[in-house]
Amino acid sequence: MTEVNEAANARDRAVPDQARPTLRGLDEKQALRCAADVLDEVAWQGAELNPDAITAADFLALL
Amino acid sequence: MLDLASDGPSRPFVSTEVDEMSDTELDGLAFGVIGLDAEGTILRYNLYESRFARLDRNQVLGREFFGEVAPCTAVESFGGRFQRMVSAGSDVAAEHFDFTFDFKFGAQQVSVEIIPFPAIKRYYLLINRQAVGKARLDPPEGGFAVLQSALAPDEAAVGVRRDTLERRFVEVPWSLLAALRSTCERLAPESWQVFCTEWGVQWGRRMAIDLASTALETQNAALRELSMRDVTDLVAESIAGQGWGRPTFDFAAAREGLLIIEVARSVLAEAAPGRAIKRPSEELTMACHLLAGAISAVFSNLAGRRLVAREVACKAAGAPTCSFVLVAASRRATLDEALKKGNRGVDAMRAALLRAPATREDA
């Protein structure tokens, strides 16, 4: 191993896990919410639209 | 299938051209239109106005608007303004003002525009509903607007039936639809589907006006501003309530640019010739073009641009239920081509449409 590589590895070890987001993007307020609520919300942001949460005009603009 | 120039929204409205519009065009407008002569006699009366005033057009034509049909308008701020406009002769401009119509079944806040055509002595009232509310307890100056039952009493005795909104209706037996289908096939074997789709489009435009009225009356909101769920519930209730079968809406493919609709127990499919024994050369045809046309027109009206619905599987042709897809007009050719090639069912149509992604411009 070269000196340069060793120095780089040492830097990586020194920059630690605290830079990694702990809750995968969710803030604490969100983390405290009922898991089912969050999952429900996330599910609707996927392939399917929530017809209760979108106006007819906005929905039909997708067609 | 032939292209139908009329399956989108009507042409843009220009108030100075209202006198040139046909009755069918006036019926496609989402506001009331009343055409008067210089004496205030009603010459024209569109569907929207008829729906909100709960008056049958056939009963109001030829009657005097301010005194006989809408006495609540025989006041300075409305009738007086009209009189001054008529007296002014040719040197007169359109006028715009707010007003409250007082019906016994409720008050309606409206904005009114009077468009004068003094050279031909015609005056058009354009009436835009803003909000609806409860009826006044005390009669307004001039009195409440007339009720349908007062204009034409004892109609039941002469074979006229009306629903709760005073719309005349006919009870159509299933056998009439079966007879219509067999007549269509006999007289127009190549084109009856086009005829029925166009009929459905015309019906759907009127249904859209009706749904918009219901949205304003029940939720004080424009139909297109309601949630997609509320709108599809209203459409389903309207179609199922009349006995055509029950539509259900599947939103799962919206991001692919299509809305999937299934209609359970379609009366059109069940009125089609029953063929328990299929002859070898015989192709069972789909039957619900009327519903496809109506769905096209209702959602085109809501979207403000052309959308096209096609039946892609039909109980009359052996499918377990009737299915439709609704897409932008720019994808109509892809859909029709897939159907022409014999593709049937929602999955086959989704696959065909995915292979030919939409352009954003309408055809």
Output the CA–CA distances (angstroms, integers) from residue B317 to B1, B142, B185, B205, B340, in the order listed.
17, 60, 15, 28, 15
B311 and B233 within one domain: yes
Distance from CA of A32 to the nearest CA of B (A): 29
Q: Across residues B73-101, what is the average pLDDT? A: 94
Q: Which helix (H) or strand (E) holds B312?
A: strand B307-313
Other beta carbons less than 10 A from residue B79's beta carbon: 19
What is the pLDDT, as a whole number, of residue B10?
59
Which of B224, B252, B307 shows the shortest C-beta gap to A57? B224
Residue B304 lies in a domain: yes
**Within this chain, do residues B252 and B149 fall inside the same structural domain, yes or no?**
no
Query: Hey, what are A38's tokens?
Result: 């969050």
B106-155 pLDDT, tens digit per residue, is 999 999 999 999 999 999 999 999 988 899 888 888 899 999 999 999 99
Does A52 sit within 8 Å of B257, measured CB to CB? Answer: no
> Nearest-CA residue of chain B relative to A46?
B255
φ, ψ of residue B212 in degrees (nearest 5)? -65, -40
CATH number, position B36: 3.30.450.20
Phi, psi of B214, rounded to the nearest 5 degrees = -60, -40
Residue B359's pLDDT is 60
User: Looking at B153, B183, B208, which one is the last position of a domain?
Assistant: B153
- Inter-chain touch A55–B226, beta carbons under 8 Å: yes
Query: Is B327 within 8 Å of A55 when comparing Cβ atoms?
Result: no
ipTM of the complex: 0.85
Flag if B249 and A51 touch (Cβ within 8 Å): yes
Range from B97-111, B128-142, B247-261 carrying the lowest mean pLDDT: B128-142
pLDDT digits (tens, 9 = 90+) for A2-51: 555 666 565 555 554 444 444 444 555 655 666 556 555 544 445 568 99
Domain stops at, among B153, B187, B222: B153
Please say whether the beta carbons of B306 and B280 come within 8 A.
no
Is residue B8 in some structural domain? no
Average pLDDT over residues B84-95: 92
**Do B258 and B338 meet the contact criterion of CB atoms below 8 Å apart?**
no
DSSP assignment string, B119-175 = GGTEEEEEEEEEEEEPPPSSPPTT-PPPPHHHHSTTGGGGT--B-TT--B-----HH
DSSP H or E run through B297: helix B289-303
B19, part of any domain: no
pTM of the model as a whole:
0.81
- Does one domain contain both B216 and B339? yes
User: CA nearest B351: which of B341, A58, A49?
Assistant: B341
The nearest CA of chain B is from the CA of A45 a distance in Å of 11
Chain B's closest residue to A54, CA to CA, is: B227
At B280-311, the pLDDT tens digits run 555 668 999 999 999 999 999 999 999 999 99
B202 Cβ contact list (under 8 Å, min separation 6): B6, B24, B293, B297
Beta bridge partners of B98: B111
Pull the structure tokens for residue B300. 């085109």
* Residue B295 structural domain: 174-355
B137 and B215 co-located in one domain: no
So what's the pLDDT on residue B235? 98
Measuring CA to CA, which residue among A25, A36, A62, A57 is closest to residue A47? A62
For residue B245, what is the domain's CATH number?
3.30.1380.20
**pLDDT above 90 covers what percent of chain B?**
78
Count the neighbouring beta carbons within 10 Å of the beta carbon of residue B118.
Answer: 15
Nearest Cα residue in chain A from B299: A60
B121 occurs within a structural domain: yes
Binned at pLDDT 50, 70 and 90, residue B355 comes out as confident
Render pLDDT for B6-39 as a digit per residue (tens, 0 to 9): 554 556 788 889 999 999 999 989 899 999 999 9
Q: Count CB-CB contacts under 10 A for residue B182.
A: 13
Confidence band, pLDDT 50/70/90 cuts, at residue B3: very low
Find the CB nearest B229 among A47, A48, A51: A51
B328 near B335, Cβ under 8 Å?
A: no
For residues B84 and B219, membership in a common domain is answered with: no
Beta carbons of B55 and B166 less than 8 angstroms apart: yes
- Taking alpha carbons only, the member of B36, B281, B268 closest to residue B172 is B268
- How wide is the angle at C-alpha B213 spanned by C-alphas B42 and B69, nearest 5°? 25
What's the rounded Cα separation, in Å, for the pair B298 and B209? 9
Give kind and range of the element (H or E) at residue B338: helix B332-340
Q: What is the pLDDT of residue B258?
A: 93
Q: Are B95 and B225 found together in one domain?
A: no
> Is residue B104 in some structural domain?
yes
Structure tokens at B6: 């009329």
Residue B18 lies in a domain: no
The verdict on B108 and B181 lying in the same domain is no
Residues B95, B147 within the same domain: yes
Looking at the fold, whether B348 and B256 belong to one and the same domain comes out as: yes
State pLDDT tens for residues B40-65: 999 999 999 999 999 999 999 999 99
Q: What is the distance, to the nearest Å, from the Cα of residue B84 to the centroid of all Cα atoms in its chain?
A: 35
Between B160 and B276, the higher pLDDT residue: B160
B113 contacts: CB under 8 Å, gap ≥ 6? B15, B94, B95, B96, B125, B126, B128
Helices and strands (H and E) in chain B: how many: 12, 9
Would you state the structure tokens that stand for residue B14, as one six-digit string?
């220009």
Distance from the B351 Cα atom to the nearest Cα atom in chain A, whole angstroms: 16
Say what the pLDDT of residue A37 is. 61
Task: Identify residues of B whose CB sits under 8 angstroms from chain A CBs.
Answer: 223-232, 249, 251-252, 254-255, 257-259, 299, 302-304, 307, 326-328
**Interface touch B255/A62, C-beta < 8 Å:** yes
Residue B15, domain member (yes or no) = no
Same domain, B273 and B346: yes
- B182 and B106 belong to one structural domain: no
Q: Kindly list the residues from chain B whose CB atom is less than 8 angstroms away from the CB atom of residue A45.
A: none
Domain tally, chain B: 2
Rounded distance between C-alpha atoms, residue B112 and residue B320, angstroms: 50
Same domain assignment for residues B326 and B206: yes
Flag whether B20 is in a domain.
no
**For residues A47 and B249, what is the distance between their CA atoms, to the nearest angstrom?**
16
Strands B42-45 and B246-250: unpaired
Measure Cα distances from B142 to A44, B59, B68, B81 in Å: 54, 21, 10, 15
CA dist B317 and B323 (Å) reads 11
What confidence tens digit (pLDDT) does each residue in B162-210 have? Answer: 999 999 999 999 899 999 989 998 999 889 999 999 999 999 999 999 9
